[in-house]
Amino acid sequence: MNLRAFLRVASLGTLAAAAAAVGMTQPSVSELVKRFRIHLTTVSSHPKRANKFLAQASIRREVAQRDRPSP
């Protein structure tokens, strides 16, 4: 759920829209985004970890898009 909320913020552009899409409150989504930013900052200082994390995020995003129901 955490990654899904983070990706929704990225794709929808607002915390409120992402929160509604994943069934969470806006403050909860805001806190998740804050935690991801901290994590990405930490990971980015370690290039090997950053590459692994970004590859995993890309795969998860592709799976989420594939599993998204058609309108």
User: What is the pLDDT at residue 37?
Assistant: 79
Contact criterion met (CB below 8 Å) for 13 and 37: no
Distance CA 28, CA 9 (A): 12
Checking if the pLDDT of 38 tops 60, the result is: yes
Q: Determine the structural domain holding residue 37 and report its residue range.
A: 2-67
* pTM, entire model: 0.54
Distance CA 27, CA 5 (A): 12
pLDDT band at 47 (very low <50, low <70, confident <90, very high): low
| Count of the separate structural domains present in the chain | 1
Contact criterion met (CB below 8 Å) for 57 and 43: no
Amino acid present at 69: P
Distance CA 35, CA 44 (A): 14
